[in-house]
Amino acid sequence: MPHISLIHSPNMAPFIDNLLSKVNDAFIETVPNTTGVKCYAIPLTACQVNGDNQIGLLHLNLRVLRKPERTIELIEHWTNTLLLTLQSEVPEDVNITAEANFLPEVYFSKTA
């Protein structure tokens, strides 16, 4: 289960709960064995302006413990799948960043 941290105004709670539920579902569906894998933070800066949801930044972070069957390509696939989930749920002009730490030594990041 991902550990998720947020920054948002209270009136955004229903929208954010829905978004995080979808990301959590995508994480569970994408990563068949979550042992040693954490989708540990999605900082989200958001508020409502005149009743409209305004999102500034979504950030996805995966921390993946190295195992022989976990290739860099597989970790990139997991990251891309979760990014697509986020992109499908938020307006096009929202900044989305993602990073994966393939422990102990490989790191890559993406911006959508």
Q: Please tell me the distance from the alpha carbon of residue 57 to that of residue 42, in angstroms, as a whole number.
A: 9
Query: Where exactly are the structural domains of the chain?
Result: 7-111
| Token pair 């890559």 in the structure block, residue | 108
pTM of the model: 0.68
Looking at residue 22, its pLDDT comes to 82
Tell me the chain's radius of gyration from C-alpha atoms: 14
Instruction: Report the pLDDT value the prediction gives residue 1, as an integer from 0 to 100.
Output: 42
CATH architecture of 7-111: 2-Layer Sandwich (3.30)
Residue 62 CA to residue 9 CA, distance in Å, equals: 25
**pLDDT tens-place string over residues 18-77:** 877 888 888 888 888 778 787 765 666 777 777 777 777 777 888 888 888 888 888 888
pLDDT interval class at 90 (50, 70, 90): confident
Confidence tier at 111 by pLDDT (50, 70, 90):
low
